[in-house]
Structure formats: C-alpha cells, structure tokens
Structure 1
Amino acid sequence: MKTAYLYVRVSTDEQKRKGYSLPEQEDRLLKYCKYNNIEVKGIYREDFSAKNFNRPEWKSLFTTIKYKSPKEEANILFIKWDRFSRNVEYAYEMIGKLRKYKTTAMAIDQPVDFSVPESTVMLAVYLSVPEAENSRRAQNTANGIRRAKLMGRYTNKAPLGFINLTLLDGKKIITPKQPEAEIIKWVFHQLSKNIHKIEEIRKMATDKGLICSRSHFFRLIRNPVYCGLIPVNISAEEQQMVKGMHEALISESQFYDVQRIITTKRQVTAKADTLKATFFLRGFLICPHCNQKLSGSFSKGNTKKYPYYHCHGRCKTRINAILLNECYQNKLQELILSNNAAELFNSILEDQNMKTQKTNYLHERMLAERKLKEEGLTLSQARKLFVARI
C-alpha cells in the first residue's frame, strides 16, 4: 500500500482573491487518497507565503521525511504546484533534496510523471506560471503605490510624528500626531540654529518625550515628509519630490537649511568645537623650557580621555588642561580694576551710548521727514481734485 504526507497551504491574500481554504484542500486530498488506496501518514497545514521554503510546517514535514526509514518510499501530495512553491529556482532545488530521501512531490490537479523525460517540460510550465503571476502582482502593486505618491498621498506606515487615517471615501492619509509632532518641530528649529550637536538635540528631545533610537533619529531629520514632500523613485538613480496632501510640520526652506547644516558644517566643526572649548588657552601659553607655544590634545587612558597642554619640542612638557584652566579662571576672578580704569570704561560706555542714541534720533528724524513728504503729496493731490471739480 502506498503512503503519502498531505500538504495544504494558503496565504491571506490568496484566500481573499481565489477563495482557497485549508479545509477544502484537505478534504479533496483525503478523498483522492481514499479513492487511490493511499495511506495518509500525516497532514501539514500551512498559512504562509510560498516565495521560499522558510515555512514552519514545511520545515516540520521536511524533518519528518529526513528521518524516516531510508528504505521507505513516500509521496508529498498537494492540490496544485503553486501550493508547493511560487519560485522556480527554489522548487527545483527542493525536488532534488526530496529525491535524495526517496520522496516525490505530486500535485493531484497537475500530475507529472517523473519517469517520462518529456514531463519535465510540463513541470517547468506548472512552476513558472505561479512565479510569473507573483511578479506581475508585485509590479502592479508597485505601480499603484507610485501613482498614489505622484498624486501626493503617503502610502507607507506613517513616520514618527504622524498617524495613518482612512477618510470616509476610503482614501488613506497621514495627519500630525501630538505631542511627537511639536517635539519634531522643535528639533528642526534647534538644528537650524546650528548651536548644539545633533546628539545633544536628540537627548534633549528624548527628555521632552520623543521615543526614538539614535539611528532612527538620524533618518528622521533627513526625511522630507516633514516639510510636506514625498520622494518618488523615477528610476534606479533618479528621484522626484512631489508636494504631499498631508500637513507639513516645517517649511521647505527650513528643511533644506537643516540638510545643509547636518551634511557640511556639523560634520566638520563637531570635533573642533570640543577642542576649542577644552583648550581655550592654546596659542597663548609658552613652554617654560623651550619657549615654544603649547598645543593641546587628549590622552587616552584605561577608562576615559584626559586633556593635556603639551609641547611639540623635545622637552616633552605636559600640563593637565583641566587644572591649568581652573587656575586661570581663579586668577581672573582675583583681578580688580583700578579706579582710573573703571572711569575710563565708563567714559567709553557713555560715548558708545551717545553714538547709539544719536543714530536712533537720526533714524527717527528720517522717518518723520518721509512721513511729512508723503502727507504733503496727499494734500497736493486733494487740492488738485478740489479745483478740478469747481
């Protein structure tokens, strides 16, 4: 008596489109086995895509086949070849693996006699049609998504700061979600100032309540969706920006200003700013041994980096930067201006204030003269109109 393992598979989209169901397939296979006097050794039910064989139930079935008796011949029965696979390359590879364990894959609605060489032609047709169908469906889906994007609709999962909504007519849109949207506005505003580092702004945004990883944050600040634009791929190398139907969180000018800052200025100045803040006396200090100007750099320790002012000469002078900076600041606080110097500064400030006041007076005078001239022109036109009516 022949033996067989039954394999039934369905994916969610196939069930919607073609009405496939696991019980229906199972019932047909059982009737086939009963009619042909085939013993059923197991039934494996799968709810998974057939783009590859990385499926839970198939793995379980293949393990059973692998550890069965070497002398035992078995069959795997299914309804059609698209239940087995929708990829020609993987399908032929799996048929070869099953053959090693004396097992044959068979479709009851599309039978193939492997003992006849010409039957491999029909097998190729049965396997290639599902793959072509999958490719066409994927292409149609991609074209539909592209058309929707060209119309200004965002078709993917809403980015952070937005939420997906479906309108009464069935169209899907994204709309700002609070408080994330306000925090993202604040992030772009801070980035446009070019004062803080990106990582500092990310940490401040996290403190405000933005839940976002470091890598996600760097993608977020480069996403044009926040300024109302949707990127559409025209080709593999060309991309077009389309005005979206959704509400923008920031202006386009602010977005592109931020892109210019994060791709140029910050990339160059981040390390330099740290060095300037730590070694602000560099260029003013003189080595006590060789009279050369001291430079500054970090020395790597076991747990952290330590800042030092040092000499490039052979004297190898090294001074702890933190200690020297504190001593310098303490000395500055001990300095007191003399009375003559304080009077001089007061005189300079008074002169500066007088110049500022004089500039303000001249500006106000110019505005008054301009207003008088405009009023005079208005009065002259009124007189002309009055005379013309008489």
Structure 2
Amino acid sequence: MSIPENKMMLAIYLAAPEVENDRRALNTFYGIRRAQKEGRLMGTASYGYINKCTEDGRKYVALKEPEASNMLWAFNEIAKGQYATNQIRLKMNAMEGAKISRTSFYRAIKNPIYYGKIFVKAYKDEEACLVEALHESLTSESLFNKVQMVLNGKTLAERPKGKIIAANEFPLRGFLKCSRCGGHISGSGSRGKKNVYYYYHCNSKCGYRHSSSKVNLAFENELLKYQYHDGINKLLKEVILTNLA
C-alpha cells in the first residue's frame, strides 16, 4: 500500500465480485420473470401440487393426491358460505393428507394458480398481469371467483343461515357486536402463569375486551328472565340445536 496507485487496483478487486453477484441476481430475476410469463410455476409447488422432473431433466408441476382433492373440497365448502374459513381448514386437516397452517391456507385460497393462472407482478414499465399456466388447474375460474367473493364478505345476503362452530368457552362468538364500534366480537384464550384465561374481544382496534365467563353468565341470567310453555321450550330447543349442529 506504499504505492498510491495500488489502492485503485484494490478497489477494483473488491468491487468486481459484488458487481458479478448483482449481475447474477439480476439474471436470475429476469429468468424467473420470463418463465412466469411462459406459464411456468416457479419455486416450491403450492399445497395440492408437487414438483416433478421428466426423464430428460425438465421440471414441471403436477397435482398431488390426496391434498389436491382436499383442497378442491375446501374451495367448494368456502363457496357455500356456511362455515368460517378456518373451520373448513380444520376439517380439511382432519382428512388424510398433509396438514396446512392457517397462514398458508389463507394464502393458498387466494392464489390464482389453482384455476390455471399465474400472477406476474408489475415491474418498471410493465403492468401486473395474469397469464395462462402450463400446469393442470384444480378449480374452475367461476368457483375461484365465488370463493374470493365469500372471503371479501360480498355474499352475506345470500347466506343468512351460516353456521358457526364455537368452542365451549365462546358459545356467543359470532352473535355479538361491539358496543364501542359496532364490529364483530371474536374470542380467544390468553395463557397466564398457571391457567388459560378466555376473553371476548373486538376484531377492530377499539380495544374492547371482556372475560368470556362473565359475559356467558350475564347472558344466562338474562335468559332466566324469560319463561315459556313446555311446548314452546321444546320448539326453541330444536331450532337452536338445528342452527348450531
């Protein structure tokens, strides 16, 4: 380093590998984008699909059973709008096949690859677009779109008899609205040092939160104020059990 000109050579030696790495990353990015435009599904296959390779070394994506059938069942169930999405996921996980987490399931049912499309993100002057995929589709486009409408809450008027499966600690979940903001009340458990404590809470950021045991007890005390004839009690019981079964 006693010669000043050598510092310039050192800078070139240090910068050259970084430039090469950046060029390789850019080439990889353009290669993946070009493959997506050609309809090829890149990366690890989504739930219900599996990465395969032909004898000549060409990679492709194929349906994987029983996960593919399970996922198709889930799409059909969500489209009916009778059960909450996570309840359908739990039912699907009870079937034969690999389990799927809540986050992965929500990401999957919004992915257009299941009806034979690949989403290509916008880049510079190029707009985002959907292209025809080379892999076999799992659902129809109409079924996929109907599921998206259910997820966006646009078919509530068409499914007034939707059923809600509630835990024993939250029998009123899905039937309560927040007194502060009017939003829907959900429920969850909070683990303490020794026990799990259950609360009803609002889905918004208003901060409403109340012990589930106290809310349930208040509801039971309110019901005790009403006395009906035995015939009416029997009819009411049948109606309630039918809607909660």
- TM over 0.5: same fold? yes
Matches for 1:1-390 after TM superposition, within 5 Å: 113=1, 115-209=2-96, 210-235=98-123, 238-265=127-154, 274-275=174-175, 300-301=210-211, 305-306=215-216, 308=218, 320-321=221-222, 323=224, 330-333=230-233
The structural deviation recorded for 1:329 is 8.8
Which ranges of 4 or more aligned residues in structure 1 deviate by more than 3 Å?
Answer: 115-118, 265-273, 302-305, 321-325, 327-331
Residues 149 and 155, structure 2, Cα contact 8 Å, conserved in 1: no
Distance in 1 (alpha carbons) for counterparts of 2:49 and 2:155: 28
Greater helix share, structure number: 1
Say if 1:120 and 1:205 are closer, same or farther in 2 by CA, change over 3 A: same
The structural deviation recorded for 1:225 is 1.0
Spell out, residue by residue over 1:344-377, the C-alpha distance to the aligned partner (whole angstroms, 9 max, x if none). Answer: xxxxxxxxxxxxxxxxxxxxxxxxxxxxxxxxxx
The structural deviation recorded for 1:136 is 0.9
The structural deviation recorded for 1:304 is 7.0
Unaligned runs of 5+ in 1: 1-112, 277-297, 310-318, 336-390
Say if 1:162 and 1:118 are closer, same or farther in 2 by CA, change over 3 A: same
Give me the identity figure in percent: 36
Unaligned runs of 5+ in 2: 165-171, 177-207, 236-245
Say if 1:130 and 1:323 are closer, same or farther in 2 by CA, change over 3 A: farther
Aligned length: 191
Spell out, residue by residue over 1:310-329, the C-alpha distance to the aligned partner (whole angstroms, 9 max, x if none). Answer: xxxxxxxxx6356568x659
Name the amino acid aligned to 1:212: I
Say if 1:321 and 1:249 are closer, same or farther in 2 by CA, change over 3 A: farther
Say if 1:334 and 1:232 are closer, same or farther in 2 by CA, change over 3 A: closer
Spell out, residue by residue over 1:17-76, the C-alpha distance to the aligned partner (whole angstroms, 9 max, x if none). Answer: xxxxxxxxxxxxxxxxxxxxxxxxxxxxxxxxxxxxxxxxxxxxxxxxxxxxxxxxxxxx
Distance in 2 (alpha carbons) for counterparts of 1:334 and 1:202: 34
Spell out, residue by residue over 1:265-307, the C-alpha distance to the aligned partner (whole angstroms, 9 max, x if none). Answer: 489999998217xxxxxxxxxxxxxxxxxxxxx9832767426
**Higher RCO structure, 1 or 2 (CA under 8 Å, sep 6+):** 2
The structural deviation recorded for 1:170 is 2.7
Name the amino acid aligned to 2:39: G
Provide the secondary structure at the position in 2 that maps to 1:208.
Answer: coil
Query: If the length of structure 2 is used for normalisation, what is the TM-score?
Result: 0.66
Greater gyration radius = 1
Say if 1:267 and 1:213 are closer, same or farther in 2 by CA, change over 3 A: farther
Residues 60 and 135, structure 2, Cα contact 8 Å, conserved in 1: yes
